[in-house]
Amino acid sequence: MKFFLDSASLDEIRAAKDMGLLDGVTTNPTLMSKEKSDWHKVAEAICREVDGPVSLEVVGTTAEQMLAEAKELVKYGPNVVVKIPMLLEGLKAVRALREQDIDVNVTLVFQPLQALMAAKAGATFVSPFVGRVDAIGGDGMAMVEEILAIFRNYDLRTQVLVASVRNPLHVVRAAIMGADVVTVPFAVLKDFVKHPLTDSGLESFLKDWEKVPKS
Ligand code: E4P
């Protein structure tokens, strides 16, 4: 399973890269708004830093606007994946972009039928938002399980990119189910490393090490 970082912060991206946990990056307008520099420069720097796919999101809502934006976005690097919202107009844009061999990530997916439609249109990635589904009392990972089953039934090649990840269980379950990618915010990624038994185990090892005779 690939790990993408859900961030537009170069510091976070470099830190994840140093840990060997950076297979790609996803951004969105909210993440871009947290950076203080001009977004063109941010996007360009991210694409240069990251070896894998970088999702950059359009903000237009008609296919025409999305395609015009995509034309500019792909100039940031060969690894750009154009992120398109799950709309009827979005599907039109997905099809047109895929015909030009441009990779597309269909975002804001909240139920399996949306994912199937995005795959039919030719999306490279589809992003079900598990945390936001959980937050309104749904079961985000059940949605992912259904999407994976549908894609396997019909041998659809669209990759399932689990997004809106909030906790380690989302990632563990995604890996067990065989999801292709998870995209994780840096703060959540750091939490995954932690375990109280790791901390207490290390503490006692270090304490005992002090008792070891040393010359
Ligand atoms: C991923 O590509 C999305 O931009 C992201 O996971 C959104 O998640 P949120 O619910 O944390 O905003």
**String of DSSP letters for 6-40:** E---HHHHHHHHHTT--SEEE--HHHHHTS-S-HH
First to last CA, the chain: 46
pLDDT score, position 86: 98
Phi, psi of 21 (to 5 degrees): -115, 30
- Which residues sit with their C-beta closer than 6 Å to ligand 1? 6, 26, 28, 55, 107, 127, 129, 131-132, 163-164, 183
Give the global pTM.
0.95
- Angle (CA) 59-62-68 rounded to 5° is 65
Question: How far is 134 from 208, CA to CA, in rounded Å?
Answer: 44
Q: What is the pLDDT of residue 215?
A: 86
ipTM greater than cut 0.95: yes
Domains in the chain: ranges and CATH: 2-211 (3.20.20.70)
pLDDT in tens, 26-54: 999 999 999 989 999 999 999 999 999 99
Task: Give tens-digit pLDDT for 74-110.
Answer: 999 999 999 999 999 999 999 999 999 999 999 999 9
Helix (H, G, I), strand (E, B) or coil at 142: helix
As given in the structure block, the two tokens for residue 166 are 């909030």
Nearest CA, atom 1, ligand 1: 163
Quick one: residue 110, left, alpha or beta (phi over 0 = left, psi -120 to 50 = alpha)? Answer: alpha
